[in-house]
Amino acid sequence: MGLCFATNNPHKLAEVAKLLPANIRLLGLQEIGCFEDIPETADDLTGNAIQKAMFVWERFQINCFADDTGLEVHALNGAPGVFSARYAGPEKDNEANCAKLLQELSKHEDRKAQFRTVVCLILKGRQYLFEGVIKGKILLSARGNHGFGYDPLFQPEQSNQSFAEMSVHDKNQCSHRSRAINKLVDFLITD
């Protein structure tokens, strides 16, 4: 089965490809001829995931899924949340986002945070939602060279490593995205 992942993020594509069984062929947006920027204008992660998946389905009529992920920091009342990718501005600059987060948290002792991913699957025109959450904390400074986004600053519970210190395999054993994608895969296998 071919299944399009509605993302232009090569890091996400690589992570998700490792989670899918061999009988599911992951297609990127360029492989289906989608070169447009997909809008993300909803007020929450669920709305953005639905919006992106529907964009692909309505234009290409191909089974697809989309995700939206947010880092939710307790001391910042859930920020950056739905604005995680654009926290420091519309450029989606990972280093600037991390710097802003550290600056915003500099006056807080509470470092609790969670990553949350919502996946919207459109299969034969029907919509299904899956969610994954991983709790952890924001470190005082960046650690590690792997991953992307806030990975150097996020340390999941039950680990002494940041996401950026983990291999893709190890991160996929516990991450928010892998938890949501595993639910999607379980659904596809049993459907």
Name the residues annotated as catalytic.
68
Question: Which positions ≥6 away from 114 have C-beta within 8 Å?
Answer: 71, 72, 133, 134, 135, 136, 176
User: Residue 116: helix, strand or coil by DSSP?
Assistant: strand
CA 147 to chain CA mean position, Å = 12
Beta bridge partners of 81: 71
The count of C-alpha atoms lying within 13 angstroms of the C-alpha of 81, restricted to the half-sphere facing its C-beta, is 13
Check residue 66 and report its DSSP letter.
E
Q: Which residue has the tokens 């025109």?
A: 125
CA distance 75 to 5: 33
The count of C-alpha atoms lying within 13 angstroms of the C-alpha of 171, restricted to the half-sphere facing its C-beta, is 24
Strand 126-138 to 112-123 pairing: antiparallel
- Taking a C-beta distance cutoff of 8 angstroms, is the pair 132, 116 a contact? yes
